């Protein structure tokens, strides 16, 4: 993964940090834990119905976008579009991409929480 890939939209992060202050970190922790569960659900449902997978990926797209995890949100969006178009090839690979993106996102958020990105 290149450094040019932007996982977190720092504009959104700073907006939220301004608005929420310390509560922002709580929300990020909740985001990480719920997203982890959702990704696990996706992995388990990858062979199940498209409908179920679609619901999960839509919510993950939404919540990641809203907290500023734009890379994860974009990958989710690609999968959602794929699922809506009815294509089934490459779903597993997309889910793996989501897992990878999530891991990196988690690390970046962790660094933000640790103060690395604090201004």
Partner 1 sequence: MPDFHMADLKDCSQARILIVDDDLVTRLTLEKTLANSGYCVTSKSNGREGLLFSRDYKPELVLLDVMMPEIDGFEICRRIREFSSYNEIKIIMLTGLNDVSSVDMAFDAGANDFITKPINWTLLVKRVAHALREREMYFKLVEDEAKLKQSQKIARLSYWEYDPKNDSITVSGEFCKKILNNRTVVSKEEFYDLVKDEDRGEIKSAFSDVCLNGGKYHRDCRIMDCSGNELIYQHQGEAIEDVDGLLINIIGTLQDITNEHHAAALIEYQKYYDELTNLPNKQYLYEELDKYIISIKESELMAILFVGVDRFKLINTSFGYKTGDEILKLVASRLHNVISGHGIVSRFSGDTFSIVINKIQNIDQLEAMIDDVLSTTKSVFEVDHENHYLSSSIGVVVYPLENASSETLLSYAEDAMSQAKSTGGNHYVYHSPEMNAAAKKNQTLNNLLRQGLETDRFELFYQPQIELSTGKCIGSEALIRMYDENNNIISPVEFIPVAEETGLIVELGYWIIEAVCKQINLWESMGMHGLRTGINLSARQFKDKSLISHIDRYVSAYEIPIECIDLEITESIAMDNLDQTLSVLNGFKDLGYTISMDDFGTGYSSLSSLQKMPIDILKIDRAFIKDIRANGENGEIARAILAMGRALNMRTIAEGAESNEHIEFLEANQCDEVQGFYYSPPLKIDKFNEFYAKHNSDPAHNIKTSGYKL
Which residues in this chain contact partner 1 in the complex, by CB under 8 A? 9, 12, 15-16, 19-20, 23, 27, 30-31, 34-35, 55, 58-59, 62-63, 65-68, 70, 73, 77
Nearest distance in Å: CB 11, partner 1: 9
Cα gap 92→22, rounded to integer Å:
37
Nearest distance in Å: CB 112, partner 1: 15
Nearest distance in Å: CB 100, partner 1: 20
Cβ closest to partner 1, residue 52 vs residue 92 = 52
Q: Which two tokens stand for residue 30?
A: 């909740």
Cβ closest to partner 1, residue 46 vs residue 65 = 65
Cβ closest to partner 1, residue 23 vs residue 111 = 23
Q: Which two tokens stand for residue 79?
A: 């999968």
Task: Give the torsion sign (CA, 108, 110, 115, 118).
Answer: positive
Nearest distance in Å: CB 1, partner 1: 21
What does residue 34 show for φ and ψ, rounded to 5 degrees?
-65, -35
Q: Are 98 and 76 in contact (CB under 8 A)?
A: yes
Cβ closest to partner 1, residue 27 vs residue 104 = 27
Contacts of 14 (CB under 8 A, 6+ apart): 119
């Amino acid at each position: 993964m290149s450094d040019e890939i932007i996982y977190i939209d720092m504009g959104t992060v700073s907006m939220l940090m301004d608005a929420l202050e310390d509560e922002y970190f709580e929300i990020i922790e909740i985001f990480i834990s719920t997203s982890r569960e959702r990704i696990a659900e996706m992995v388990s449902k990858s062979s199940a119905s498209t409908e179920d997978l679609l619901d999960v990926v839509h919510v993950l797209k939404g919540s990641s976008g809203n907290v500023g995890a734009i890379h994860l949100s974009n990958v989710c969006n690609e999968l959602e579009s794929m699922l809506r178009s009815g294509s089934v090839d490459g779903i597993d690979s997309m889910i793996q991409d989501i897992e990878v993106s999530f891991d990196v996102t988690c690390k970046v958020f962790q660094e933000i929480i640790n103060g690395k990105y604090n201004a």
